[in-house]
């Protein structure tokens, strides 16, 4: 996609760590459900929701940083018109 740049290595590493944490929480939640540890399940679900929210924030930040903004380079004619309207100081 034009106007996007690859995420910085530090950002990729952060995302990879958060994905690993989320996957670990999913596995631990499944284990807790299998073992009938319902209090543990609730706590893990809260942590999982936080991890997924953080991943969504990181994804939104990558999208926002990767989008180019056209600031519109003025042409010489546009600049010349502006400067010709300026009055010269009186002697």
pTM of the model: 0.61
At residue 27 the predicted structure's pLDDT band, cuts being 50, 70 and 90, is very high
Q: Does the pLDDT of residue 23 top 60, yes or no?
A: yes
Cβ–Cβ < 8 Å for 22, 86: no
Could you tell me how far CA 40 lies from the centroid of its own chain?
Answer: 31
Give DSSP secondary structure letters for 40-68.
HHHHHHHHHHHHHHHHHHHHHHHHHHHS-
What is the percentage of the chain residues whose pLDDT exceeds 70? 79
Please tell me the distance from the alpha carbon of residue 40 to that of residue 19, in angstroms, as a whole number.
21
Spatial contact of 25 and 44, defined as CB atoms under 8 Å apart = yes
- pLDDT tens across 28-49, in order? 999 999 999 999 999 999 999 9
pLDDT attached to residue 42: 94
């Amino acid at each position: 996609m034009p106007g996007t740049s690859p995420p910085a290595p530090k950002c990729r590493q952060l995302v990879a760590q958060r994905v690993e944490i989320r996957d670990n929480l999913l596995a631990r939640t499944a284990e807790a459900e299998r073992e009938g540890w319902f209090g543990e399940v609730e706590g893990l679900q809260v942590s999982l929701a936080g991890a997924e929210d953080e991943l969504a924030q990181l994804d939104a930040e990558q999208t926002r940083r990767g989008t180019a903004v056209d600031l519109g380079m003025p042409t010489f004619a546009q600049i010349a018109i502006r400067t010709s309207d300026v009055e010269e100081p009186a002697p």
